[in-house]
Amino acid sequence: MGSSTRCCAKPLDPLRRRLLFALGALPLGALGLLTNDGTAVADAASRARLWRDGEGNWFLDADLGFERFPAVWEDLLQRGIAMPLRLELMLYRERWYWSDQLVFGKFWRITIRHQPVTQDWLLTVGDATHVFYDRETLLQSLRSIRGWPVAADVFNPLSDVRAELRLSVDLSQLPQTLRASALGNDAYAWEVGPYRWYPWRKR
């Protein structure tokens, strides 16, 4: 059964790296882009970390760098049409040949809704729904991810681990009538990221 919470407060390399992957409550470095020479470039608007609690469970904190939804989605939301989103966290082991190896993946289904009658904004993540009085407070909450569950203690010591985080519209979850218009139309396809960083890089 879902839950509902009323919220009032306004609230990135062709070079290969050797990494040290050590289990523990180690914070991720700043989320950022990489230039062609492999130099990390900090994105002041975007930071992330994985952290582990005392029971060995891993969680995600992230600050996503976006300001607003695309105009087409702003219009659809105002008309009461839900916006389905997908947040993906992927961990890759970098290879010296062929392609990188996906070692872990996690995604969250997110739905944004606007209720024209009450003017409330709803943010649903999994089974939990949070209600906001205006769009800006909802956007602030979506940008600032805190304590989202990732996994129990499933990570193994690995080297050359790269993390990628991406937020995008999940067109597969659109109603059939709207999906026909959205497929092949870039106006409906919206993506934030991917942000790439090295969680357990030896410093």
Residue 158's pLDDT is 58
**Is there a contact between 92 and 100 (Cβ–Cβ < 8 Å)?**
yes
In a domain, 96, yes or no: yes
In a domain, 202, yes or no: no
Tell me the mean pLDDT in the region 65-71.
92
In a domain, 160, yes or no: yes
In a domain, 14, yes or no: yes
**Is there a contact between 23 and 155 (Cβ–Cβ < 8 Å)?**
yes
Residue 49's pLDDT is 84
Q: How confident is the model at residue 31 (pLDDT cuts 50, 70, 90)?
A: very low
Q: Residue 46 pLDDT > 90, yes or no?
A: no
In a domain, 203, yes or no: no
Residue 135's pLDDT is 93
Identify the weakest region by mean pLDDT among 29-43, 78-92, 117-131: 29-43
What range does the domain containing 166 cover? 3-197
Residue 27's pLDDT is 35
**Is there a contact between 113 and 142 (Cβ–Cβ < 8 Å)?**
no
For all residues of the chain together, what is the average pLDDT? Answer: 76
What is the total count of domains within the chain? 1
Best CA proximity match to 150, nearest among 109, 108, 101, 97: 108
In a domain, 124, yes or no: yes
In a domain, 186, yes or no: yes
In a domain, 181, yes or no: yes
> Structure pTM?
0.73
